[in-house]
Every structure is written in structure tokens, then in C-alpha cells.
Amino acid sequence: MEGTSHCLIFLIFLLSCSTDPVLPVRLTVSPSRSQFFLYEPVILTCEDENRSDGWTVRRNTSREIRNRCGDGFGNLAGSTCSISYLYPSDTGLYWCESMSGSSSSSSSIQLSVSGGSVILQSPVLPVMEGDDVTLSCRAKNQTHNLPAAFYKDGSFIGDETTGNKILNSVKKSDEGLYKCNVKGHGESPSSRISVKEKPPTTSPPSSSSSSSEKLSNISDSTVTPGPGSSSVSLPVLLPSASLCVLVFLFLLVQLVVYLYSKPKVMKEEEERMTSLPETSGCSRGNRRKANQEQEML
Ligand SMILES: *[C@@H]1O[C@H](CO)[C@@H](O)[C@H](O)[C@H]1NC(C)=O
């Protein structure tokens, strides 16, 4: 009987692990950059895998804390927050949060609105190690990019006549605060570039049950938040996935302990069963149950 219930818990657990336990919510920015000119529009969207509503955009600025979209800034429609005209005072950290309150939220991203006439166009989301990243220095009301100087963490890293600086095959060490300067036009605000490490290429597990594959896929696609704050994937998935693995191991140990240290009362019965072929714990338990029922009749 005990074996059967163990098996049942085990199976229920496997099923619950294979259905995604917690969906991550992401904040996306359109146009996809972190710096804006005065009066430009921006659309911020909270996305989870269900495309469900129930998310709201919040922000921290130098003036307010946890300000909610539709309540002092922007217009909220569903889980989309639109700001028609950006001002320098809109500079701040933006993130998604469930309407109900604190239950879950996305990582935050930094948006900067320049009061001046130069912005740096850089990726707003973390970039993958090995990717090429283009930094584009734009001056207001210019159809073509002008020659620009680029800076990383305050240090000059090069002039580009095209106004575009390409970072080839970025490494973790390329992370930092970038800005640019166009002679006669001014300097851009600074924006952080975050580089996320490439997940190690693992060979598929030899005992490939569908749920264990799914688990490893989940942890591969989970973004590890960098030291900057522009990482956008929700980190709650990782704890829940590792909890899954812990419970899995615990139940496995329980099962093994049960199978190898049976009470003496069952020894007789075990001897009668030796003719049966060795099978998995689950079918053994079921067979034993069937045996017991036969005896009862
Ligand atoms: C917003 O500001 C509050 C108060 O300083 C802080 O506790 C919170 O962590 C900030 N949120 C983000 C996403 O940084």
C-alpha cells in the first residue's frame, strides 16, 4: 500500500513539474532602445506566455517611487503602457508587476530621456555573449549619423566617422556604462550594456524522460540577472525549477529507501514474488497491491 501511494505522489509530482509552474513576465520597450529625445513616444508592454492581462507597469524616478502607469504617467490599456511625450523627468527604472500587488514582477530596465540633442542607441535588453552589438550615436533632427566619440565607464574608446561603434563578439568584460559625444551637438546620457553568459551546450540527458528535458530547457532559457538592472526575464522560475529538482530527489530517495529496507513482515511475500521479473518500483507496488487483494478474496 505504502509503495503505491509513494508511486502516486511521484507521478503527480512529475506531472506538476512538466507543466510550467511559474510563467515569467517580461517588459518590452518599443522602439527597442533605452534613450529617447524629448517629446518622443514609447510603448511599454508586459508579456507573459499567456499574453494575459493583469500586469501593470511601475517606475522609480528621481521624483517618485513605485509610480503606476495610468496613475501619474502614461496610459494603461491591458498590459500595455503608452507614453505619448517623454520628458527628462520620465528618466527612471521601469518594471512590470501583477495588478494584485507583490506576487511577482519582472526585472527592471532603465530608460533615459535626454534634455539635450544627442542620444546613444544601445540594446535595452541584455545581449548574449559572442553577439555583435552596434552602438549608434544620434543627433536630434539629423537624418544621417554624424561622426561621434564613444566612452565606456567614462573612458574614451574611439572615434567613429559613421557615428556607429560596433562591439564585436561581446564578452562579459564589455559590460558597462556607455555614452557618446557629437562635436557641436553635445553628449548623450549613459546607458548600461549587460552581457549574459551563453548557457553551456549540454548533451541531452541519457535517460530522456520528457519532463527532465523540459526542466533543463527551462533552466537554460532562464536569464541570470546581471549586475546591471536591464535584465528582463523573471528570476522566480529558477527557484521553482530547483525546488522541483529537490522534491524530485527527495521522493527518489524515499522510494529507494522503501524498496531496499522493507519490514520483515513482507519478507515472505517478497520470496513468493522472486519469480516475477524485476520491474520498476511502480509496477512492483501495483503488483503487490494486486497480490494482497487476491489474498483477501
Ligand atoms: C524602487 O524604489 C524603492 C524605494 O527606493 C525600492 O525599494 C525598489 O527596489 C525600487 N524598485 C526597483 C525595481 O529598483
More confident residue, 104 or 11: 104
**C-beta of residue 20 within 8 angstroms of C-beta of residue 215:** no
Indicate if the pLDDT at residue 74 is higher than 90. yes
In this predicted structure, the answer to whether residue 75 has a pLDDT above a threshold of 50 is yes
Domain at 22-199+221-236: CATH code: 2.60.40.10
Q: Which of 44, 60, 64, 109 to mutate to test the pocket of ligand 1 (most atoms within 8 A of CB)?
A: 60
pLDDT at 20 over 70: no
For residue 110, give the nearest of 23, 38, 27 by alpha carbon: 27
Kindly give the distance from the C-alpha atom of residue 60 to the centroid of ligand 1, in angstroms, as a whole number. 6
**Region 252-262 average pLDDT:** 68
- Candidate from 44, 46, 62, 65 with most ligand 1 atoms within 8 A of CB, to mutate: 65
- pLDDT of the residue at 24: 81
Beta carbons within 10 angstroms of residue 91's beta carbon: 20
User: What does the pLDDT look like over 24-71, one tens digit per residue?
Assistant: 889 999 999 999 999 999 999 998 877 667 899 999 999 999 999 999
- Using alpha carbons, list the distances in angstroms from residue 178 to 77, 154, 181, 250: 33, 8, 11, 47
Predicted local distance difference test score (pLDDT) of residue 25: 87
- 133-152 pLDDT, tens digit per residue, is 999 999 999 989 999 999 99
Q: Residue 121: its pLDDT value, please?
A: 96
Separation between Cα atoms, residue 62 and residue 112, nearest integer Å: 12
User: When comparing pLDDT for 234 and 167, which is higher?
Assistant: 167
DSSP 8-state secondary structure symbol assigned to residue 251: H
What is the CA(57)–ligand 1 centre distance, in A? Answer: 13
Q: In this structure, what DSSP letter does residue 68 have?
A: E
Side chain identity, residue 261:
S
Q: Say whether pLDDT at 118 is over 90.
A: yes
Average pLDDT, the chain: 75
- Backbone dihedral region for residue 158 (phi beyond 0: left; psi -120 to 50: alpha; all else: beta): left
